[in-house]
């Protein structure tokens, strides 16, 4: 699984070509379910600049958003704050308010969380957004697809789940420090070596 929208748009096609036997599932902003969910026909997308500027995102809009108006909002700096474990500071709130205000002003009633970091902000967004706003996150759907593909290849784990295992290519101690904030429980953390 490529657990990043930006990495998916940058590399999924090449990875699928290079590794045709691997069940690769990528992340992409949930344009199709958002277009189906909107009541007023205006959908907002919070995402990274890289995702929003990609040809893959443009193709999603062409394919699934022909009957709705889509307002995109790049969110520079948001991923970096989340990666520090900041999920509720005044700085984060101010930044997030600046990103959601244009979407609300444009009449969005449905907002896509177009980055795998952004679901960590769902509790804060629930406080900041009117209750009528629908938040769309693809995490559960992607997990179901990955489970289906692993099942087809008889690669599903059997038995009770063990503790979660995480790998990082970044600073190991930093990741260990923020994991309980983001994951709500500790896990086994190792360095990922290329």
d(CA 84, CA 106): 31
Q: Which residue has the tokens 């930044």?
A: 95
What does residue 44 show for φ and ψ, rounded to 5 degrees?
-105, 150
* Token pair listed for 166: 């995480």
* Token pair listed for 137: 């996150």
Q: Which residue has the tokens 């099942």?
A: 151
Q: Catalytic residues, which ones?
A: 4, 115
Q: What count of other Cβ atoms lies within 10 Å of the Cβ of residue 160?
A: 5
54-83 exposure pattern, b = at least 16 Cβ within 10 A, e = fewer:
bebbeebbeebbeebebbbbbbeebeebbe
Identify which of 177, 191, 163, 145 has the alpha carbon closest to the alpha carbon of residue 2. Answer: 145
């Amino acid at each position: 699984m490529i657990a990043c929208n930006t990495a998916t748009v940058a590399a999924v096609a090449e990875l699928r070509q290079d590794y045709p036997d691997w069940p690769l599932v990528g992340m992409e902003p949930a344009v199709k379910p958002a277009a189906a969910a909107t009541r007023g026909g205006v959908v907002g997308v919070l995402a990274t600049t890289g995702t929003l500027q990609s040809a893959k995102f443009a193709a999603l809009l062409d394919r699934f958003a022909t009957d709705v108006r889509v307002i995109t909002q790049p969110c520079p700096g948001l991923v970096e704050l989340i990666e520090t474990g900041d999920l509720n500071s005044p700085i984060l709130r101010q930044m997030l308010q600046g990103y959601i205000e244009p979407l609300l002003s444009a009449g969005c009633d449905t907002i896509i969380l177009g980055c795998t970091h952004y679901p960590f902000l769902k509790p804060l967004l629930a406080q900041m957004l009117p209750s009528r706003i629908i938040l769309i996150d693809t995490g559960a759907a992607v997990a179901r697809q990955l489970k289906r593909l692993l099942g087809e290849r008889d690669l599903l784990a059997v038995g009770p789940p063990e503790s979660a295992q995480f790998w990082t290519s970044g600073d190991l101690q930093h990741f260990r420090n923020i994991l309980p904030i983001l994951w709500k429980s500790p896990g086994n953390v190792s360095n990922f070596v290329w």
